Amino acid sequence: MEAIAANLPGAAWQRCRTHYAANLMSVTPKVMWPAVKAMLHSVYDQPDAKAVAAQFDRLLDCVDGKLPDVFDHLDAARADALALTSFPEGLWSQIWSNTPNERLNREIRRRTHSVGIFPNRDAIIRLVGAVLAEQTDEWAEGRRYLGLDILAKSRLTLITENGREVTEQPTLELSA
């Protein structure tokens, strides 16, 4: 996570909500799983960022004192679990899960496994590059995983580390 902040100023780490729920259940008493899961899902069901934050606070209030490990886990993960709220609501369903990334990784594993042994590094780079290019084409021309209009809207406002909003984003210089 520190690498993201160091290389992409203003970027945040969004934890997959499914994986976070599984991590949270590891510190939750089994008898409380249904209640805690329902409360956690109610956080993501809110219509806007203010409502999400308020529902998360209610969740913390609910477990405070009764489930100290759950409270600590939720409190520590707040920024990661709610990073999606800094984006437009239309984008939330695409970024609250890493299922597309997992699907892409499975496809890369499947193809590299079928080849077995690669003669050199360039061969594996060509194969993985082809898979990534194919996925880019599908997302750009096919079902548009992230539409250009929603991406443009998400770039209009940058929130800096100190919480200040900046409407003009700095250009990033790429090093070779």
* Overall domain count for the chain: 2
- Residue 40 C-alpha from the chain's centroid: 16
Rg (C-alpha) for the chain, rounded Å, is 20
Q: Judge if 22 and 64 occupy the same domain.
A: yes
DSSP secondary structure code for residue 34 in this structure: H
Q: Identify whether residues 116 and 47 lie together within a single domain.
A: no
Q: Provide the residue range defining the domain that includes 111.
A: 98-145
- C-beta separation of 40 from 59 below 8 A: yes
C-alpha to C-alpha distances, 47 to 42, 88, 100, 121, nearest whole angstrom: 11, 11, 23, 47
120-147 per-position pLDDT tens digit: 999 989 999 998 888 877 766 666 566 6
Q: What is the pTM of this model?
A: 0.63
Tens of pLDDT, residues 16-51? 888 889 999 999 999 999 999 999 999 988 888 899
- Same domain, yes or no, for 37 and 51? yes
In a domain, 52, yes or no: yes
- Same domain assignment for residues 43 and 60: yes
Domain presence at residue 161:
no
End-to-end CA distance of the chain: 22
Measured at the CA of 5, the angle between CA 42 and CA 98, to 5 degrees, comes to 40
Q: Indicate if 69 and 129 belong to the same structural domain.
A: no
State the pLDDT at residue 172. 41
Q: Are residues 88 and 102 in the same domain?
A: no
Judge whether 109 lies within some domain: yes
Same domain, residue pair 73 and 30: yes
pLDDT score recorded for residue 175: 44
Instruction: Please check whether residue 175 lies inside any domain of the structure.
Output: no
Whether 20 and 43 share a structural domain:
yes
**φ/ψ of residue 158, rounded to 5:** -110, 130
**Domain assignment present for 152:** no
Q: Please tell me the distance from the alpha carbon of residue 82 to that of residue 49, in angstroms, as a whole number.
A: 9
Q: Are residues 63 and 109 in the same domain?
A: no
- DSSP summary character for residue 82: T
43: number of Cβ within 10 Å: 20
Query: Do 14 and 83 lie in a common domain?
Result: yes
Is 24:40 a contact under the CB 8 Å cutoff? yes
